[in-house]
Chain A
Amino acid sequence: MNIFTSPLITDIFFFFGLIVLVSLGLFVYVLLKKEKTFQDKEAHALNNYQSILQSGQNQAENIVEKAADLSAQMLAATGQTKTDVHNTLDKAVQELLQKDIDSLSLVSAEYLKAYKRNLTVTLQSIQEKSQVLLAAALADLQKETIDNKSSLQQFIDEELAEARTMIEQYKKDQVSKAAAEVNELVVKSYREVMKKSIPASYHQALLQEALEEAKEDGIFL
């Protein structure tokens, strides 16, 4: 008799098989339950992750907005400060310029006043001396004839020497007292006074004298 065909063994196998099936079913159940738990946890973790990401994004946006506001405020403050600095600087420069202008105006006015005073005195002096010289020249000319070359030459030499002495003395005085332009102006003034004061007869006499001298110098040879 085959041992595997006995009813007892068959029952045992059946029972044992039943137990194996039940165990297998339990195992599958537990396995599915664990899988379900894992999926729930995974979904929960994903939700948390998204929530954290969203929160981070919100915080980043807030930070950027605040930074932008702060930058705008700082820019506005900087612009105002720049304007204030410009205004202060402009005011300071204007004050300095005004002081310089006032100072220069004062100095210029004083210099001009002194210059005019000096010029007036000098011109008066020269005019008076020129008139005296010319009066003397006219008086002498009336006494002497034009053809009297030696006396006319002597007279001219003396007058020229005196005039030259006056001019040299004047130049020396002016060099120590006034600027070079005053000298130039005085010489011009002297020339103007002389030009207006010399009579026609004196011009004629000097022309005649020049022709005679030119002849002696051999200009006409």
Chain B
Amino acid sequence: MTVIEKPPQTGKAMPQVAHITLAFHPTEKQLASIRDWFTEEIHQPVQLDITIDTNLIAGAIIEYNGKHKDYTIAKKLGIAE
């Protein structure tokens, strides 16, 4: 499943897209939490592209600005598909 947020209609430049693959279906509250984290820690708004892959077990795969890294339990256990 993939959830892509609509970009904000602010007339400003398009925000960066953060591609995040999760092992669970995030709630709206959790999505808001992720957005807040980006605002606070990266100091810029992002557009979230969330993909669900339950085979990851837990954790996340994060891709941002062409950089990609796997922080999942499946990767750490060496059983990623």
Contacts and interface: CB of A to CB of B under 8 A. Distances in A.
A214 B79 contact: no
A153 B46 CA distance: 27
Interface of A is mostly: helix
Given A195-B57, A207-B34, A210-B59, A219 B41 contact: no
Interface in B54-80: 54-55, 57-60, 62, 64-65, 67, 69, 71-74, 76-79
Given A191-B55, A194-B73, A219-B64, 11 more contacts: A160-B73, A160-B77, A164-B77, A167-B79, A194-B57, A195-B55, A198-B57, A203-B22, A214-B64, A219-B67, A220-B42
Contacts, number: 80
B79 A206 contact: no
A160 B73 CA distance: 8
Contact of B23 (A187, A203, A211): A203
Interface of B: 22-24, 26, 30, 33-34, 37-38, 41-42, 54-55, 57-60, 62, 64-65, 67, 69, 71-74, 76-79
A200 B24 contact: yes
Interface string A191-221: 1001100101011101111110111011111
Interface size class of A (residues with CB under 8 A): 20 to 34
Given A160-B77, A203-B23, A206-B58, A211 B69 contact: no
A163 interface: yes
A195 B23 contact: yes
